[in-house]
Structure 1
Amino acid sequence: MSAFLSAEPVILASASPSRRRMLEAAGLEVHAEAARVDEEEMKHSGKAAGMRPPEVAEALADLKAAKLARKYTGPYVIGADQMLECDGVWYDKPIDRSDAFTHLRALSARTHRLYSAVVVFHNGARVWHHIDQAELTMRPLSDGFIERYLDLAGDAVLGCAGAYMLEGLGAQLFSRVKGDHFTIQGLPLLPLLDFLRVRRLLPV
């Protein structure tokens, strides 16, 4: 008997370990492959065109899935992306510890929004998409606490928008969280699973 619930493997157009873990933990057999796209150019051009963060997140997810859908024409291809916005400012993943410190100081005692988008392609065509958002309020953080947090969290936070992983030490940063925890981790998982059940990739 297969160790997976899914009827066939899916392609995850991402190198994100957390997204792969979420899908595998939900019983899917996953082949993950990074889709090499120019994310910074997409964000820059999107902002210049007046696109909102959720629209940019969807466009990036679409771009990633579409790229691998040209390579894998049979399996379902899943693309996902996330945008963080606080008072009109967009925050990317920090490039180094100093950048992470700057991001956390800027987000301290403020409420920000995470927009997570997922797009699915099959047989070269886009067949489904979903966007969800979460709202998170950071408590006031002292510079000393931020330094200590970064000491303990290490380089792992450099792979996360906002320089935190809520499922770990990042929980210490917040006073209020509103939204689905899968969305916060970068993938609206439950709507995606519903879609895969409709397509008979997962048992009902």
Structure 2
Amino acid sequence: MIQKIILASGSPRRRELMTRIGLNFQYVTSDIKEDLTDDPDFGHQAMRLAAMKAYNVANIYDEAYIIGADTIVVLDGVIYGKPTDAADAKNTLRALSGKQHKVITGVALVNKREGLCERFYESTDVYFRKYGDDFIDWYIETEEPFDKAGSYAIQGKGCLLVEKIEGDYDNVVGLPVSRLFQHLIKSGIRPGGLHEF
């Protein structure tokens, strides 16, 4: 039996990660609003948003395995989401300069017909180099910071901001695919015709 997998995200970065590990999937962009709460448990917040995205798509495709994901950047207890404009991106990049922050991605695996809802999150520590406004202005002019949590893309020119990371690199890109793969196996999904693992 073919197990249909749908990524509840329009993120090209997440699609690239899932393609890279050989998953056969479709993608449908979830249209939920990413509202954050005052919950100090940032892992829980990311998982909640991931589950909301997954269920939003599962309401249409109740027979499929839906993968929802949400990534947040946290510095000193403050969440830095996607920038609203260039000024917002500049403020975020100034705040992150020379500091360590956390990138947290919540993931939800949902199948409404089977009553399945697996949730987990991954956290990676990212250390930024110290840089000035000239570099920030140059980076913003590349337009890469837009539509990125924390206003940077580690897989692109944003790698120039990074001194080192501790943890899962793919998590910083937007999806901890190694842990996701383990959850797919645990849930009885055999990606790419895999029979044993």
Taking structure 2 as the reference length, the TM-score comes to 0.90
The alpha-carbon deviation at position 35 of structure 1 amounts to 1.2
The alpha-carbon deviation at position 126 of structure 1 amounts to 3.3
The alpha-carbon deviation at position 83 of structure 1 amounts to 1.3
Q: Give the structure with the higher percent helix.
A: 1
1:76 aligns with 2:65: yes
The alpha-carbon deviation at position 76 of structure 1 amounts to 0.5
Residues 139 and 145 in structure 2, CA contact (< 8 A), matched pair in contact too = no
Residues 9 and 28 in structure 1, CA contact (< 8 A), matched pair in contact too = no
1:164 is aligned to 152
The alpha-carbon deviation at position 89 of structure 1 amounts to 1.2
1:180 aligns with 2:173: no
Unmatched tracts of structure 1, length 5 or more? 1-6
Partner of 1:155, secondary structure, is coil
Q: Which amino acid aligns with 2:58?
A: A
2:111 is aligned to 122
Structure 2 Cα separation of the partners of residues 171 and 143 of structure 1: 17
2:179 is aligned to 191
2:43 is aligned to 54
Q: Percent of pairs identical after alignment?
A: 30
1:145 is aligned to 135
Structure 1 Cα separation of the partners of residues 65 and 41 of structure 2: 27
1:66 is aligned to 55
Q: Encode CA deviations 1:132-181: one digit per residue, 9 max, x unaligned.
A: 10011111111111112222xx2232111111111121111022211111
Q: How many residues align?
A: 191
Deviates more, 1:8-17 or 1:192-201: 192-201
1:103 aligns with 2:98: no
Q: Which amino acid aligns with 2:164?
A: R
Q: Which amino acid aligns with 1:172?
A: L
Q: Which amino acid aligns with 2:182?
A: D
Q: Encode CA deviations 1:80-104: one digit per residue, 9 max, x unaligned.
A: 0011110011111012222111110
Residues 39 and 60 in structure 1, CA contact (< 8 A), matched pair in contact too = yes
Partner of 1:27, secondary structure, is coil
Partner of 2:54, secondary structure, is helix
The alpha-carbon deviation at position 196 of structure 1 amounts to 2.0
1:30 aligns with 2:20: no
Structure 2 Cα separation of the partners of residues 179 and 165 of structure 1: 16
Partner of 1:147, secondary structure, is helix
Partner of 1:165, secondary structure, is coil
Taking structure 1 as the reference length, the TM-score comes to 0.87
Residues 7 and 25 in structure 2, CA contact (< 8 A), matched pair in contact too = yes
Task: Work out which of the residue numbers 6, 14, 20 in structure 2 matches 1:19.
Answer: 14
Partner of 2:49, secondary structure, is helix
Structure 1 Cα separation of the partners of residues 156 and 34 of structure 2: 27
Structure 2 Cα separation of the partners of residues 104 and 31 of structure 1: 34
Structure 2 Cα separation of the partners of residues 33 and 51 of structure 1: 30
Structure 2 Cα separation of the partners of residues 93 and 68 of structure 1: 22
Unmatched tracts of structure 2, length 5 or more? none
